[in-house]
Amino acid sequence: MKFILKNKNNFEKEINITIPLKNIQELKKKEIIKIRKTTNINGFRKNKIPIHIIENKYHEKIKKNIIKNIIYDNLKKIIKIEKLNIINEPKIIIHQYNNNSDFIYSIFIQSIPDIDLNILKKINIKKIKIIINDLDIEYYIHHVINHEISWKKNINQIQKNDKVIINYNIKKKNIFHQLKNNKITLLMNQNKILPQIQQQLLNKKSGDTFLVEINVPIKHPDIKYQGKKIILKIHINKVLSPKKIYSKKKIIKHLQNIFNINHFSDLKIIIKNQLKKEIDNLEYKYLKNQIIKKIIKSKIIKIPKEFLYKKLKKIEKKINKEYIQNKGNIIELKYYNNLKKNILKEIQIDLFMQLIIKKNKINVTKEEIKNYIKNTSQINENFIKEIQIQKNKNHIYNNLYNIILEKKIINYLLNLFFIQNKTYNLKKVIKNFNQ
């Protein structure tokens, strides 16, 4: 085998390969002998069929097997020689294959450039330890467990925790026209619509109307308004304010009945034990988010423009399809976000993770998945029931594989970063880390 490796950019590579005719002929003989051992043809004893008959009868099968074996066996050798970290299904183009000449073909791959992981030693990571005290437990009881909310009509000014139902019309030739999908329900404490609209809603009342001017991005999925300046008339149909079902005394009484206890001190012990089961997830999530931010900021993997452009086009196509199918709303914030910036972050993290997996041969065994299921089932009784439902099984197992794999990568990275240990109370974590 002779091969020439061409770098199109940091990621994309072209490998031109030539296999001498002599090698092809040897492989062809082996393939014919292999087929002859398992083939029966009337008039011939098993394993005594003439070679030329096998060759004529199974010509396409022989050709297919030779090409498949040559391509993938040689690709493995090239990967090892050149130390490539392939991240895609190779694209193969056959230039020449016949009985009288060499076999010539090309393979097009995407490969992550190797990186020096010692760079990560310069990165500081805070590893938090969450402690629980009595005030945290009371805060958790009153603000987290009491999450059931009913809504009451609000005739006063809109506040940040309200639910608001609005509709809007778009101005065309000095007349406001109603769109097909012009109604939206939103929670004011969630950033799901354009900020200039959300800000104007604050302190207004049900029945109010106001105008807003929007610059629609040229890449917006709604083709009619791409790159245009539009004026919307927003009308507030209804405003609802949250009303918690339980008072402080009622929720404590409610929990005491559930756990069959009489004293608040006993309830706090039970809550504390339950919280300990959740603390690991809180600590891990904070750690993971921090690592992702640091890796992106370090720009440890530089993405070529051509590579990013192809990914961007693919995502844009997916978003446009989703917008049409789900009847997307033109004021939704996600269609105005910097898609290129977000995709770049996702690619950097994805490629970085893949590189760590390949360099360190990180994998997840069936035994590890079984242990994870066993441990999770002890905390969540419904978890094992979900797994037993056949239609959920493959999906859940794939998710578990990815969860365990991610944790293994994080644990590996912790040995590279410079770690600073920090202690927080639960209340601060819930407030500041959006848990």
CATH 3.30.70.1050 region(s) of the chain?
2-110
- CATH number belonging to the domain at 149-244, selected among 3.40.50.620, 3.90.1150.10, 3.10.50.40, 1.10.40.30: 3.10.50.40
Contact indicator for 153, 240 with CB cutoff of 8 Å: yes
Distances in Å between the Cα of 267 and the Cα atoms of 108, 130, 253, 255 are 63, 20, 10, 7
**CA 282 to CA 291: how far, in whole Å?**
14
- H or E element at residue 234: strand 229-244
Q: What is the pLDDT of residue 387?
A: 64
Distances in Å between the Cα of 405 and the Cα atoms of 304, 350, 368 are 27, 13, 10
- H or E element at residue 433: none
What are residue 399's phi and psi, to 5 degrees? -65, -40
Contact indicator for 235, 166 with CB cutoff of 8 Å: yes
Distances in Å between the Cα of 325 and the Cα atoms of 169, 184, 264, 299 are 21, 17, 52, 36
- H or E element at residue 7: strand 2-7
pLDDT band of 272, cuts 50, 70, 90: confident
* Residue range 306-362, pLDDT digits in tens: 778 888 888 889 888 888 887 788 899 989 988 888 888 888 888 888 888 888 889
* Residue range 130-141, pLDDT digits in tens: 888 877 777 777
- Highest CATH level, class, for 122-143+248-432: mainly alpha
CATH 1.10.3120 region(s) of the chain?
122-143+248-432
Residue 18: both structure tokens together: 């030539």
CATH topology classification for 2-110: Alpha-Beta Plaits (3.30.70)
Q: How many residues are present in the chain?
A: 435
Question: pTM, whole model, 2 decimals?
Answer: 0.67
**CA 17 to CA 10: how far, in whole Å?**
20
**CA 179 to CA 224: how far, in whole Å?**
12
pLDDT band of 434, cuts 50, 70, 90: very low
- 208-237 mean pLDDT: 93
